[in-house]
Amino acid sequence: MSCAEFVQYALRERVAPPSLGNTKARIRHASRRLGWTYSRTKTAWYADHRLLLKATDLHQIEQTTGLRYGRQELKEIDAYIARAEALLVGSDEDFHRPFVAAIRAFFGALDRS
């Protein structure tokens, strides 16, 4: 999930859920709640490619919604892979590299879906 997709999901589902009414009212509510301008919130709402997000923006959305961005999960997966590599140190190199590549491909496929 990209940053823009994460912010879009957070805005649409957590900050301004569908129960608030039409899209315009939801964007207005989200902009007030986050302290952003209406146009910036609208850009994030539609995940426009021109959207520039800072780490502070992501942190603010995480604090507001209680969601965690997927990079933390990716760090955990990388830690698991590092542990698996540590366990395989000293084993046959011809087995080691394809095994780690398979683990990375598996978790990479989960991350893209």
CB atoms within 10 A of CB 69: 17
- Please write the tens of the pLDDT for every residue from 35-74: 999 999 999 999 888 888 887 887 888 888 877 765 666 6
H or E element in which residue 66 lies: none
Q: How many CA atoms lie within 13 A of 66 on its CB side?
A: 2
31 burial via Cβ count (<10 Å: 0-12, 13-18, 19+)? buried
* Averaged pLDDT, 75-89: 76
The mean of the pLDDT values for the chain is 80
